[in-house]
Structure formats: C-alpha cells, structure tokens
Structure 1
Amino acid sequence: MAISTESRFFGLDLNQLKADVLKTWRRAPQWPPLSWLRPAQMLRLVPAEGTPAVVWESGEPVAKPGREPAFWAVELPEHMVLRKTVALPALDPQDCASAAELEVQAISPFAADDLLWGYTELSRSSKAVKLLVVLASRAQTEPYLQAQVAQQLHLQTLKGGSKAESLEQPEVWVFAPERRPVVFQGFGEQARYALGRKRLWWNVGGVALAALLLAAIAATPTAQLRLRAIEAVHAYEGIAAKTADVVAKRETLIQSADKVAGLSELLSERIDGVQVLSMLTNVLPDDTALQSARIQGSKVTISGLTENASALMQKLSNQDGVKDVRAPSAATRIGGGNKENFTIELGLDAKVFGPKSVIEAESGAKPESAPPAVAESAVQGAAPAVPATTPSGASPGAPFAAAPKASVGGGKPGPSLGGTKSGPSLGGSRPPSPPPSAESGGAKP
C-alpha cells in the first residue's frame, strides 16, 4: 500500500497555500499604504557617457543628496547589451522571474557561464504582463567594469575616502524606456537588497512596538480600574470578615427594632378603657344615667337616659380627643317622663386615650384625688356594692364602667345609678361602715 505524501486538507493543497501566503507577504512592502516601510536607497551611478550622479534605486536623480551613498552602479554601453520584450499572462512577480529565466535560457546566444542577464516589468494589466529581458556577455563586460572600478578607486583615493573597498563590487545597470533601470544579476545588488530588508524589518518592528505601546496606553485606565475594583473587593471582604459579629448583632438589633416598632404601632391604636370611663364620668351631666358603654377599637358606643340628648352630643364633641360623634338612632322619650333614651357613637384619638407608659405616667401631672365616697370605702375596707341584676337597656356581659353623676330612681341626687346615698356606686345601697378602730387614729371623715 502506497503512502500518500501530498499535504492536502479537504482537497486543499497546503503547500500551495503556504506558497501563496508567502508571495502575498513578499509583495506587501510594494503596496501603496505600506511602501513607506521600505524607504528607497541612494546609489552613485557611473553612466556610460557623462559624469557620475547620485540617483535613487528607481533611477530618478536625487536633487540634493545629504550624504555619500553606500552603493554605486555602473551603466553598460548599449553596444554590449541585447534586449527582448516578452509578453506573459498576468503572473505574480516571483512567477515572472521564473518565466524570464526560462526565456533567457531559450534565447541566449552565450554560454551558460558567460551569460549575464536581467529583466524588468514594462507594464502590467489584469490579463497580461510585458517584460523587458536584457542579456550581455561576461567576457565583454568584465574589462569595462574593471576599468570603471579602477577609475572610481583612484578618484576615491584622491578625495581621501576611507571606504574605497566598497567600490570593488558595483551594480551593473542598463536603462529601459522611461529611464527605468534594469539590474544585472550576480553583482553588488544583493548587498543593497539585504540592507533594504533589514530596514524593512526595523520599520515593521518599530510600528509593531508603537502599536503595542498605544494599546498599552489605551488599556492602562481599564487595567487600573480593574485592579482598583479587585483591591476594593479584597478590602471589603477583609472588613466583612472582621465585622461579622458586629453585623450579626446589628441585624439582631434591627429585627428587635422592627418588632418594637410593630408593637408600638399596635399599642398606639389601643384605647385605654380607664381613661375613657374617666372622661365619661367627668363629661356626663348630673341628669344623665348611663346604662351601657361598649369599646370596640377606637369606637365607643354609650346608651342611657338624659334630659337633652342633643346637648349631650354637643358636649361630647367639644372634648379633646373625641371625634365623629353621631347618633345611630333617634332619641326617644319614655312614657310621660322628661328623660330621653339615647344611643351615641363616638370615635376616640389613640394619642389622647391610648395607654400611657410608665415614664409618661411618672413625668405627668399629679393624679386627681379619688372621690370622697371611694376614699371612705378604702379607709373602711369596704368595696362598692354591685347590683345583682343588670339595668334595663344594658348589653349582657358589657362592662358597666362609668360612674355617672345622675340618678335614675328617687332619693338624693348624686353620682349613682340606683342607690339612695350619694357616692360612686353603680346600684344598690352601700352597707353601713363599721365604727373606726383605735388603730385608725381618728374620727370618721
């Protein structure tokens, strides 16, 4: 089984691809945008007729040469040169060189070791390339070149030049139409080509270095920001590790504060029943008997008997912290009496009638003294009597909380609902107090 040595990948010849890439890169310095990377070089040209002059490698004369050229060339007389124009397809410059060499071998009248030749492009189009091929005999040109070299060495010596050895290997030129030089191969042109390639690579290296510096300058701010961000992250992680306990305590404190705030919000909406009953006790007139009082949130519903329900509603409306006073049903009179049966609903402000804290209680005003009857009961150790039955019109289970000053039945007027003796009782007569003992230290108040 034969082993294939062809370098192919999916039908593509890799060797040919490599050759095409190299050809393209060799032609890159000739492109107009990149031609400045390979600057033209100066030569001292010794023409066949006339005085030597400094020219560019393209053959154009230099107006004001600033320095002595490092290379020089000798022009061959026309009688020593054979010329031929060759038309070829549109080939690459490297392929044109191979085609010119084949053409020279085919038409040369000189022996292989006696042949000197060169070529240049006269014109190029998308379909064809026209070349000028020149031939000469080494045996005929060497005496002429040696004479020119000896003459130039003599002139260089007279001028005191220290680099006369550079003139020992000149380039050999002839000129095509439009003063275009044709260089014969095998003389001093290789040194000039090598220097041109060296300068090209130096320029390419300088451009690449400048591009890298520009990229570094452009990337420096971004790199600095990234390094600062990384440093900040590391610093934050370090601080977070050091303050983990403090942060945990802070979270616990925040949660406790949230709970306290929620509890405060709930407490701010509560109504203190004791304050409500105290307010009703102070506000209700003596001709009013309260039968029931119900507290639901910030709403209080009271019902009872009074002589003027409208005046009572007006009086309640003028109290601090009382709002939205209204009567859900019309007041009615009982029999031929002068009392009106009323039901009144009123809203209370939690800031006024809400529960007071211990600090607020201690910093507040001195509490009012208890009524005399209550004080008397406290001294004698007797509690106010509670009626066995619920008054008519009161809701079962509702707190009978107020101690109004008006009486319903007969007897001496006083803040009782059904008793005969004045005092803060809710119903029934108060049992007689026992005689004061000797330990009480005084007479009955």
Structure 2
Amino acid sequence: MAVQSNQWMLFGIDMRHIVQQWLSAWRELLLSARSPIRQRLDEPVMLYRGDAKQLMQGGKPLSGNPQNLSPCTAHLLPDELVLARTLNLPIAAEPELPAVLAMEVAAASPFKSDDSVYGWYETGRDVQSIQVTMAIASRPAIERWKRESDFAAEHQSDGDPEIWAEANGALVALKGFGEARREQAYRQRLMRAGLLAGAVLVLVLVSSVVFAIQQRSALERFEDLQSKVQLESESVSAMRATLVDANETVRAANTFVVNYPNPHIEIARLTELLGDDVYIMHFSMRGRELRVRGRAKDAALVMQTLAQTSAFATVTAPQAITAVGNTGLEQFHLDIEVESTKADGDES
C-alpha cells in the first residue's frame, strides 16, 4: 500500500488531492476571514458588546462614526455561554477542514448535535500546521439569552442579527444566524469586483492587440518603404556604376588621344606651317613621335620654324642637312615630338 501511495506523490504533494488543495487555496484567498480581499470588501458589521458598540470589517475594527449604523449587526455572546477550543491541525487536512471541524464539534460539544452551533477562525499557520480557534454554543441557550437579555430586547428591530463569540481573544461568528446576509453581500461585491477586474483585463488585452496591430501595420509600411528605397538605391547604384564606367572609358579615350594624336591633324599642321617651296618626301608617326624627311631651299629655316611651333615639344635632326646635287635644294631629316595635352579629368 505504501508503494501504491508513493506513486501519487510528486515533490511531496499527493496528486490525488491536488484539485481539493487548489480549491482550498482559492477559498483561503477569497472567502476566509483572514483574506486581505475580504478585509477590504466585506460588509461592515456593527458589533454590540454589552453597552458598547464597535464597527467591524473583516473581523477587524474599522475606523468610522459609530452613529452611522451598518445594515449588518452582530451581538457578542457572554463568555459563560461559549465553549472555546484551539486546535492545531496538519496542513494536509486543509482541503477537508470544514468536515474535520464538524467532527471535532460532534466529539467535543457537551450539547446535543442538533442544538450545537459553532464557528471558527484561523489564527495562524506554518508550513506544517494550521491553528484554528473554535467557539461552540447551544442554540437553545442563545435563543433564551436573546429573549431574556435586556440589551438584546432593545435591538429586536435589527432583524436577524449575527451572533459572535470571543474565543481565546479571537472574534468568531457563529454559523446559522444572520451571517448569510453579509456573506451574500460580500459575494455580490466580490463578483462585481471580479467583473470589473475582468473588464479592465479585457480592455488591456484589447488595447494591447490594437497596439500590436498598429505596430505591425507601421512595420509593414516601413518594410515596404525600405524595399522601395532599396530598389531605388540599387537603380541609383547601377546608374552610378554605369557613369563611373563611362567616365573611365572617356578617361581612357582621352589618354589614348593624348598618347596617340591624330596623324591627319599633324599632317595638316605641317602643311600649314611649311611653305610651297618645301615638300615632304616621307612622313611616319608612332604615338607622339613624328619622323619627317623632305627637301627645301632652306632646311635650317624649316627646322627653326617647326621648333618655334608650340604644338611641338622638341624638334631634332638625327642626320645632317645635305645639299641635293646642283638643284639648290637641301634634304633634311627631322624627329618631332608632339606636345602632350592633358586628358579630361587630369589635374591641371
């Protein structure tokens, strides 16, 4: 049996009672007298102690004007009518606490089972046990006290008041009297607070969903804009690359033009510079270097004229000027270097 019982244990918790423990935890949070929620939402009770009265809420004194009577009233039983008991119960008995206390009343009450009324209040707990204070009384004795007490007779107009008892310093409401009205009012107030909290939660969730949708829409618009900008930037980059290629081509063409001048232009320039008495017998051109062989009446003047031309960087005679028989002409050989012009894009 021990082995079979251990099969249901997980981290020291009996999984067969997990539902009861879960419900018990919610009852402790919402319905127990020690609940902080109940201490804020419970119906105020005007407690009459002999000739004195005190406004209570959630089992604790409530600051306020005692003249403002609460719709709920309670009368404190004399100590001689109350049997007080303090119980230390194991924490495992919490899910079945009402049944355990009912059995304790049946065993400890000196009154008949039909005549016994009781109430209890949790006064403390630790990890292993729960401390409960109980108040047990006789219903016939309470009814007789209500009839015979002068104080109780003064409050017959209160309807069905609650009956409280003081047990070991704790105030305990006895079950079976007027506490049902306060319990119903508390549950209604708790339900309204729960509905309000649920509505607020739904509103927060709806607001979060709307905000998320708006942010997603903004993100999609941003992604579309980013895609368009990326496409445009790619087009601009392509155009820029094409422009760079074109500039490189132009620069290469300019460099070629600088390094390899047009021979037709140079021939036309020589024709313009030389007179009719000068004629060219041989013309060759390699890059910016010209080689000219010709005849003229004054070859030295031809060389001087070409050397003074700004279009030519240098003019040299690799061979001496020689006379051509008795023709009166001189033959010349000239090496000419064309002046270099800067290509577009070069620094000046």
Q: 1:99-248 residue pairs with structure 2 within 5 A?
A: 99-145=100-146, 151-154=154-157, 167-178=158-169, 180-214=170-204, 216-217=206-207, 220=210, 222-227=212-217
Return the alpha-carbon distance in structure 2 between the equivalents of residues 196 and 65 of structure 1.
21
Change (3 A) 1:23 1:314: farther
Matches within 5 A, 1:20-419: 20-29=21-30, 35=37, 38-47=40-49, 49-64=50-65, 67-91=68-92, 93-145=94-146, 151-154=154-157, 167-178=158-169, 180-214=170-204, 216-217=206-207, 220=210, 222-227=212-217, 265=250, 274-283=264-273, 289=280, 291-294=282-285, 299-305=287-293, 307=300, 315-316=308-309, 318-319=310-311, 325=313, 331-334=317-320, 339-344=332-337, 346-347=339-340
Residues 225-276 of structure 1, C-alpha deviations (whole Å, 9 max, x = no match): 54466689999xxxxxxxxxxxxxx9xxx8xx98xx6999487776765444
What stretches of structure 1 of length at least 5 have no aligned partner?
1-7, 155-166, 236-249, 352-445
CA distance in 1, matches of 2:65, 2:89: 39
User: Deviations for 1:137-175, whole angstroms, at most 9, x for unmatched residues?
Assistant: 112112223567653234xxxxxxxxxxxx332221112
Aligned to 1:379: none
**Which one has the largest radius of gyration?**
1
Computed over aligned residues only, the root mean square deviation of the Cα atoms, in angstroms, reads 4.9
In the superposition, relative to structure 1, how do residues 314 and 124 fare at CA in structure 2: closer, same or farther (>3 Å)? Answer: farther
Normalising by structure 1, we get a TM-score of 0.53
Query: What amino acid does structure 2 have at the position aligned with 1:342?
Result: D
CA distance in 2, matches of 1:66, 1:308: 140
- After superposing the two structures, state which structure 1 stretch, 110-119 or 220-229, moved more: 220-229
Change (3 A) 1:340 1:232: closer
Compare the two structures and name the one with the higher strand fraction. Answer: 2
Secondary structure of the residue aligned to 1:112 is: coil
Q: 1 CA distance for matches of 2:154 and 2:208? A: 58
Letter in structure 1 aligned against 2:163 = V
Distance 1:94 1:336, change over 3 A: same
Please report how far the alpha carbon of residue 132 of structure 1 lies from its aligned counterpart in structure 2 after TM superposition: 1.9
Classify the secondary structure of the residue corresponding to 2:155.
helix
Structure 1 pair 125/233, CA: closer, same or farther in 2 (3 Å)? closer
Match of 2:110, SS? coil
Matched to 1:116, the amino acid is V
Contact 1:37–1:204 under 8 Å retained in 2: no
Quick one: distance in 1 between partners of 2:333 and 2:171? 137
Contact map agreement 2:47 2:74 (CA 8 A) in 1: yes
- The 2-side partners of 1:312 and 1:172 are apart by 141
User: Offset of 1:182 from its aligned partner?
Assistant: 0.8
For residue 122 of structure 1, what is the amino acid of its counterpart? T
Within 2, Cα distance between the matches of 1:304 and 1:31? 125
1:304 partner amino acid:
V
TM-score (norm 2): 0.66
AA aligned to 1:172 is I
Instruction: Sort the Cα spacing of 1:184 and 1:280 in 2 relative to 1 into closer, same or farther, 3 A.
Output: farther
Q: Specify the code of the residue in structure 2 equivalent to 1:45.
A: L
Change (3 A) 1:288 1:172: farther
What percentage of aligned pairs have identical amino acids? Answer: 18
Unpaired runs of 5+ residues, structure 2, are 1-7, 226-234, 294-298, 324-329
